[in-house]
Structure formats: structure tokens, C-alpha cells
Structure 1
């Protein structure tokens, strides 16, 4: 079990685990999840979400989390405005691993080492269930977007380009 799954069990949140065989040569983790999740689930690419760790104000001390569809790009200006920052950038992968406890490609928004401010793209609200990383490559959690937001004390905002 991963910290993300342990957290959901502890909170008694309804969720489903989906696993697939991760290709070690694949670096487009979100697209891999879309293509390898069970076709019977009838999911669309916009229903699978990636977790990005952001470095705020270039200080390598302040971070935030953005959860957005794997088929979209983060709009750094929109995220910066919402987070009330002058400058944001994607955190270095090694730093993201250190602060979350997860490897890149398996970073879950749930069960991170430290609670970080979290933004979830507005599009999540159009689905009854979304898919986020379960805490390792090849492991996805199906969860209600509202449950995800409640657990993380996250805000639904427009953060995609």
C-alpha cells in the first residue's frame, strides 16, 4: 500500500484502485495511464489527472500542488495569480520527490510528506469520478473530485492553458 491509499482507507473515503503494467521506458506517465487503464471503464483523457509540484517565488522552500488533466498544459500565469505569487515554475524532479515522498510519474496529490496548497483544475468538476496517481507508476486511484478537494483542502480553479 502507498501513503495515498492508506490515507483514503483511514478517512473511509470511497475509491477504487486500478493497476497496469508500467513500461520502464515510458516517460509520458499520464498518457500511459490513459492508454493502459481498462477500456471497460470508458474513460476519456480529460478524466485522468496529473500532479505537478510547483516552486513558488524561486526560493526552493515554498511549494504548491496543481492537479490537472494529463492532456492539458499548466498555465503558469493563472496558477501564479491564484497562488498570489510573482513567479512560479515546475519544481526540480529531485526536489519534488524529496518533498512529496513519491517518484516523478507516481506523485499522488494524496498522502504527501507535507500538506501543500493545492489547486485542482475546474474541469474535474464535470466528472463524477476522476483518476489520480496512487503513489507509484502503474497505480491509479479513482475518486470523486469533491472528495479529493475536501481531503486536500483544495480549490477548483482554471489552471490550464
Structure 2
């Protein structure tokens, strides 16, 4: 995989470059009317939606956390809470997610966030040689080894995706 292209630099690409992690950038023309940022990326880039992961900010026990699941399914909030030793989770307020990460919705990357948060990656990623996550802006995805994502974000892995996410089918 290639290293960062300076014309596409974001905090996410800078974090990967600083850590010496190989990655490939996948820029695309974002359509503002797209219903799902992640599914749009998969379709435009011609990549299986089970390999494209979305970054979701979740509130667990009053703290913001990051859940990363395939765009082909949804986040299981109970499983997310359990992965972090809690019983209940809820989607975070969009404004709080943007303030915490420094990114806009649809471009929130699990990498290079303004403030790091506990992170959980759906364990389906570990069966793949590479996955794509947001590069820190709409219209930019980063392809990398899921083990590198785990290492750089200090993520735990757990089955936090819905059945649709785990078998590669289903809606956003």
C-alpha cells in the first residue's frame, strides 16, 4: 500500500504516516444527496460493502466511544455496550461527535481524532486482508490492514455489527 499523498492530507492520514502504517487513499466525488456515506463510498469505489467500515460515535456510561462496523449493516448498541463492560449504549449527539473528533458527520475517521475515545472494531474486520475507513473528510477513504487499525486506535474487537453487517448484506 502507498503512503499518504500530501494533497489529500488530513489528521487521519497524518496519524498513519507518523506511525509508519502503510495505507492507500481512495478519493471519490461525494454526492451531497447520497443517503448513506459509507454505501456511497463502496458503490463509487466498486468495493464490497463488507470491506468498507463506518465510524460511529456512541455514548456508553456517559462517555463518548467509537464503534466501527461494516457499512453493509448496523451497529448493535447492546453488543457495543457489552464490549466496553456496560449494559446500555446510545448513539452520540451529532454535535458532540463532531466536537470530540474534529471531523464532520460523514467524514468522521477513527484515526487522528481531536480527542481519542475508547474504540471497538467489529471482529468481522479481522478476517479481511484490508478494510476501508473514512479518511477524515467526505469523499476520502483509507485502506489499511485491520490489525494496524486496532494497534493505532488501541481498539478492542468484538461482534458489534448486526447480522446484516456480519454476513455482508442488508441496509446501512
Q: Does 1:76 align with 2:77?
A: yes
Cα drift, residue 115 of structure 1: 1.3
1:46-104, Cα deviation, whole Å (9 max, x unpaired): 000000000123x3xx1110111001111111111111223211111111101000001
Q: How many residues align?
A: 154
| Residue from 41, 53, 57 that aligns with 1:49 | 53
Tell me the TM-score normalised to structure 1 length: 0.92
Which 5+ residue runs of structure 1 have no aligned equivalent?
A: none
Separation in structure 1 between the aligned mates of residue 12 and residue 84 of structure 2, nearest angstrom: 24
The CA distance in 2 between the partners of 1:12 and 1:81, in whole Å, is 32
In 2, Cα distance between the equivalents of 1:158 and 1:79?
8
C-alpha distance in structure 1 between counterparts of 2:140 and 2:104, whole Å? 12
What secondary structure, in the 3-state scheme, does the structure 2 residue paired with 1:132 have?
A: strand
Output the CA distance in 2 between the equivalents of 1:45 and 1:26.
Answer: 15
Counterparts of 1:8-157 in structure 2, within 5 Å, are: 8-37=16-45, 39=46, 43-57=47-61, 59=62, 62-157=63-158
| CA-based RMSD | 1.0
Partner of 2:166 in structure 1?
none
Q: Distance in 1 between matches of 2:138 and 2:56?
A: 15
Residue 5 of structure 2 is aligned to residue 4 of structure 1 = no
**What SS does the aligned partner of 1:156 have?**
strand
**What runs of 5+ residues in structure 2 fail to find an aligned partner?**
1-8, 163-172
Moved over 4 A (4+): none
Q: Distance in 2 between matches of 1:157 and 1:85?
A: 14
